[in-house]
Structure 1
Amino acid sequence: MNQKLAIAVITGAVITLAPFSPQAAQPAASVASTATIAGVSVLQAEGIVQAVDRVAHTVTVKDSASGHATFNVSPDSTKLSELKVGDKVRVRMVRDVVITLSPRGAPNTHGQLAADVDPMTQNNVAAELVTIDQKNGVLALRGPKGTIFHIQANNTAQLAPLSPGMHVDLAYAPTATVSVSAAQ
């Protein structure tokens, strides 16, 4: 499976999270260091259906770079009876994530985190905040290999103590909600 399709493969499930409650007596840095932020990662990829297993609820898709991946699709979001080998499809993966400020995360000389892992193929990832869209609740993060990816925060008020350059740890849910539909 190529890296582009591998990045799209991993994303979505449910994580329960204690709400962030700042304490007025603590300075912002202290509050932020204990904050947890719930969010969601949504990734999409297009490809050609190679196989459909209606019993196992799986679809194998080949992307334009010849990468193959088999997806366990959500029965309630994909009508497998409508998919055929050769169909051009869009695969959409949704995966919940919890973000906490990292006590480590010193950047190396390339502006990347020292850990050498791909943020979309691991359940736990360290990243650096690049931009924070307070209005829409979208965080742009730089992963360990320099890849930029986005997380949609569930509660925009939780983003107030964050600023670009901060290092965070992301804990992804172990499962993804995957849907496959005809590409347009």
Structure 2
Amino acid sequence: MKAKALGLFAGALIAAAPLVSAAAGLPAPFEASTTLQADGVVKAVDPANHSVTVLDAQGGVASFTITDPHNLAQIHQGGKVHVRMMRSAIISVTRGADGQGSPVQAAPANTVQNVNAVVEAVDHASGVIALKGPDGSVFHIQSRDPVRVVNVVPGMQVMVAFAPQVNVAVAPAQ
């Protein structure tokens, strides 16, 4: 049900976006996804809640609710694991590389987080965009349709509206 509602929201946003973007001379918003992969050591496993707490190589600890629990029985405290987290988003260009543009409204409450970022680089063939977040860190996000990023260039400012659902899979490290 949540996925369907998010799909309807995304569809409505994308359908209306060309009108706003065209008026501002900016590329239309588009759907994208980002994937984080990391290895770590299991600190705790909660099979009833399908959750795992992992210590990464830098000493950071994070807990994940596993959306794909088929490997959960193989995960044990102290074991090494590989975590893969995928998240969908809507990318809206808020300002062109020349500084021209108009503000974009924040996404509705059914998104977990909005992040303002600056386009650092674009691979137009694959649709992968390198974005620099407000804390200076660079992250990558991939358009579901690479054609949608044809007019996206370094220096543009974007708002990334992340979906509330996160797809997390944990598997024993190889």
Please state how far the C-alpha of 1:67 moved relative to its aligned partner.
Answer: 2.0
Mapped partners of 1:158, 1:105: distance in 2? 17
Which residue, 100, 104, 117 being the options, matches 1:127? 117
Which residue, 57, 64, 76 being the options, matches 1:84? 76
Cα deviation, 1:8-60, whole Å, max 9, x if unaligned, reads: xxxxx78422346869xx68x6252xx11100010011110111111110111
Q: How does 1:104-143 map to 2 (within 5 A)?
A: 123-143=113-133
The 1:56/1:106 distance shift into structure 2, 3 A limit, reads farther
SS at match of 1:94: strand
Cα deviation, 1:83-137, whole Å, max 9, x if unaligned, reads: 1111110111000010001149999xxxxxxxxxxxxxx7101000111111111
Q: Does the CA contact (< 8 Å) of 1:132 and 1:164 recur in 2?
A: yes
SS at match of 1:81: helix
1:71 aligns with 2:60: no
Query: Residue type of the partner of 1:150?
Result: H
Mapped partners of 2:98, 2:82: distance in 1? 37
Q: How does 1:5-154 map to 2 (within 5 A)?
A: 15-16=6-7, 17-18=10-11, 19=14, 30-32=25-27, 35-74=28-67, 76-103=68-95, 123-154=113-144
Mapped partners of 1:166, 1:142: distance in 2? 11
Please state how far the C-alpha of 1:147 moved relative to its aligned partner.
Answer: 0.8
Mapped partners of 1:51, 1:106: distance in 2? 49
Query: Residue type of the partner of 1:96?
Result: S
SS at match of 1:173: strand
Mapped partners of 2:83, 2:56: distance in 1? 10
Mapped partners of 1:58, 1:181: distance in 2? 13
The CA RMSD measured in Å over matched residues stands at: 2.7
1 or 2, which has the higher strand percentage? 2
- In the comparison of the two structures, how many residue pairs are matched? 152
Please state how far the C-alpha of 1:63 moved relative to its aligned partner.
Answer: 1.4
Counterpart position of 1:183: 173
Q: Which runs of 5+ in 1 are unaligned?
A: 1-12, 108-121
Counterpart position of 1:170: 160
The 1:103/1:134 distance shift into structure 2, 3 A limit, reads closer
Mapped partners of 1:165, 1:104: distance in 2? 7
1 or 2, which has the higher helix percentage? 2
SS at match of 1:55: helix
Query: TM-score, normalization: structure 2?
Result: 0.77
